[in-house]
Structure 1
């Protein structure tokens, strides 16, 4: 062992591997937990709660809640006002009557058709309409009426000479025969001969014969009669038209009924006005109407009406609803509660904050916050890692030759003086997450590099192996860590080294064997 390694181990500078790994793993786990907490909603909630709990608003709110009392509160005043109104004599009487059977009966009658009829009849009787109709009905008599005058006029017309002559001839056989003869050939011949200016003997003879004829004589005798004259005068006359007009009127049902009504001595007793008057007297004595009129004038009902739409009653019911509400009762109980702060949402949030403050992961987070414990993880990134935990060698990462051997001879080679040849991975064993490089005493053929003659075949009595990352990973700077267990044998030299693109320099990070050294070129 080198003196440097001896001193480091003697003074405890080189810690046991298990402790180093355990501390590193624990710190890594803490770092992962730190990152998780740092991005969590829980931390945001905690910081918000911390800010709120330490704020002036929180202190002010706590003071407000703790200072709340029922006495002097709005609820206290509302309850007092309600109690005062509930004791009011007027409101008490109102409430007694409000749901009483008397009021229900009164309201029922008030909405009834009977009361409506009573009021209408009372107005009819007491406001003069009844007397007016009574006087009017009794004043209607047949004598001197329009109907009497119409009937007298009709009788007079019917007895007149003009209409007597008209009705005697109208539709008679005599008039029909006269009218028929007026269109006859005999009359036309007679009138033609009579009116002719020139008459010979034959014509005169013919005229005399026609003139002596019975029908001609009868025609002209009727034509010159007073009866026909009156008939023709009556045709289209005003008297005839008036006669027919009056005949229609006096024969109508309305005229007959009106005449009978005017001649009836008991028409008032049969009138609607008289019936209304009798109905009014009956309703006035009705028990329900009497009750209604008496109740309407009572003091209790007057108080009911005075209070019904009053501000005090509205306020009473408003306060009753408020003071009996679940919200009011809860608020009252809350204000009277001596532990209202402990039951508040703010207190609950404060306790939640204090509870969170003790969460192990949050305690650990604030322990590391602002410290440099995680600087190694923050400043360095793992770019190459091998745990040898797959059961076989990962050929994407490793070659079992040296970098230059792989490039130049596609295999391994040894240096002059080496006793072993490298066995292309045959001496490498993976077991339980460990990689072992074995040195065996056995005959083998290989190559030796001779600067003067190049690569030369050689026989060896020992075999060993090597691993190189040259085909998968290179670095210019960084941290290289490896966990290597050595069982030092002076005859066997083992290296863990770094090599660049050139054969030198070679940095031996660790050398074990004849000499135990670290960090040599």
Structure 2
């Protein structure tokens, strides 16, 4: 009937499977977030994000997109070169130079025949020759002989070529241009604009795909490609949410999923801590009607089952007057604790547990330190069977008076499923939860000593009939401490 009403009207607590799945997904997502934040992909994104949003990079991109060859000094040099190349005087200069006439003229100018001709012509043009020519015996004179030599030299092809060429306008233009600053400027510009670097520069600036071929475009593309990945999109969507505040707050300090075949003896001891510490043996208190046995602890399907059974068993009882007294018991049970392996002051403690309804059997998940008090009961099932449990703390004041802050928690048949029982313990507050729902809070008489964990099943009264065997089944236990 209770299950029907819970499904019809809703339970006080979320379904354990759903709650646990949500918590596991949250943990998985948080780990996924941490892994991505530590990944080379995200580190590369951060590098690129800084780079592509830097002022220098933005200016470079704008330059690549807007800069034209015609706006550069190189363009103006090219235009100056083309203007000089098209000028008539330089065109004539190079045309005449290509004819090889300048070389011939230069060769004749340095020849003996031109020197000889020039010397005779100088004498022919002198008054001395004119006087000699006026005499009657001129044709028999040395002057006439020189004159005939002069006439002969005038017919020489080199002499004729030399004087004809040097009197041409094109030659005079050649002389004016040759070795001039104008020619030097043209030659310098020609060397620059025809260089491989200049040609590559011009080609780059005139390429319509210039930006697409640039390293800046490649870096932007790499940056955008990372942003398009499913992992990054998920990260961007979830990174600023407060989903992980609670998870980020805690770090695991102790856990056991009970996956091995036997109980991990490095973590757990069977029986009360002081029995192991002082006697290396097991004992129970004088009010207990059961004895703890290792054989009552079974790991199966990754669950630790602490089973209470009916049957004769011998053990020790602690009596504060008589000490340890041998006794035969009619019931056996189990207790596991971390008394020798793990203790903690403050933190969060959670366990996924299922209990059998075997009232008045006492199933408990509790914490205790060096003394019997203070003690914290995360849950203690007893007289109410699986309908409710007690949650609270037991402390002692300065006058050695016992202080009990205990509440009864109900709202569901707790033997119907596994439930996740939790305690959050700080300096000023204790908070009990079931499947994440707060069921009790305490702000006074807060324990201030490290404690260890205990799971146990006890029988504290004589009974004629009890439904056995009964198990306290622990699927997992996890303890957390706040990150520094």
Band the TM-score falls in, shorter-chain normalisation? 0.5 to 0.7
Change (3 A) 1:36 1:414: same
State how far apart, in whole Å, the 1-side matches of 2:184 and 2:261 are.
91
- Tell me, yes or no, if the aligned pair for 2:314 and 2:328 is still in contact at 8 Å: yes
Matches within 5 A, 1:240-389: 299-332=169-202, 336=206, 346=216, 348-367=218-237, 369=239, 371-389=241-259
SS of 2:305's equivalent in the other structure is strand
State how far apart, in whole Å, the 2-side matches of 1:407 and 1:9 are.
47
- Tell me, yes or no, if the aligned pair for 2:308 and 2:332 is still in contact at 8 Å: yes
1:471 Cα offset (Å): 1.1
Tell me the equivalent position of 2:11: 10
Q: Deviations over 1:359-392 (max 9, x none)?
A: 4444455545555433334433322233444554
State how far apart, in whole Å, the 2-side matches of 1:367 and 1:481 are.
30
1:10 Cα offset (Å): 0.3
SS of 1:10's equivalent in the other structure is coil
Q: Deviations over 1:40-79 (max 9, x none)?
A: 6325324414643xx6x77766665555455565455444
- Tell me, yes or no, if the aligned pair for 2:270 and 2:335 is still in contact at 8 Å: yes
State how far apart, in whole Å, the 2-side matches of 1:39 and 1:478 are.
35
Q: What is the number of residues matched between the two proteins?
A: 360
Q: Is residue 479 from structure 1 mapped to residue 348 from structure 2 by the alignment?
A: yes
- Tell me how large the CA RMSD over aligned residues is: 4.6
Tell me the equivalent position of 1:92: 91
1:403 Cα offset (Å): 0.8
Tell me the equivalent position of 1:402: 272
Change (3 A) 1:322 1:50: closer
- Tell me, yes or no, if the aligned pair for 2:36 and 2:42 is still in contact at 8 Å: no
Q: Deviations over 1:430-457 (max 9, x none)?
A: 4554433344444322112334433221
Long gaps (5+) in structure 1:
129-279
What TM-score comes out, normalization by structure 2 length? Answer: 0.59
Matches within 5 A, 1:75-224: 75-103=74-102, 109=107, 115=110
State how far apart, in whole Å, the 2-side matches of 1:375 and 1:503 are.
36
Q: Deviations over 1:145-170 (max 9, x none)?
A: xxxxxxxxxxxxxxxxxxxxxxxxxx
Tell me the equivalent position of 1:19: 21
Q: Deviations over 1:259-299 (max 9, x none)?
A: xxxxxxxxxxxxxxxxxxxxx99999986787667656655
Tell me the equivalent position of 2:406: none
Long gaps (5+) in structure 2:
124-149, 394-484
Match of 1:414 among 265, 281, 284: 284
What TM-score comes out, normalization by structure 1 length? Answer: 0.55
Tell me the equivalent position of 1:429: 298
1:469 Cα offset (Å): 1.0
Tell me the equivalent position of 1:183: none
Change (3 A) 1:517 1:27: farther
Matches within 5 A, 1:29-68: 29-33=31-35, 35-36=37-38, 41-49=43-51, 51-52=53-54, 67-68=66-67
SS of 2:80's equivalent in the other structure is helix
Matches within 5 A, 1:435-454: 435-454=304-323
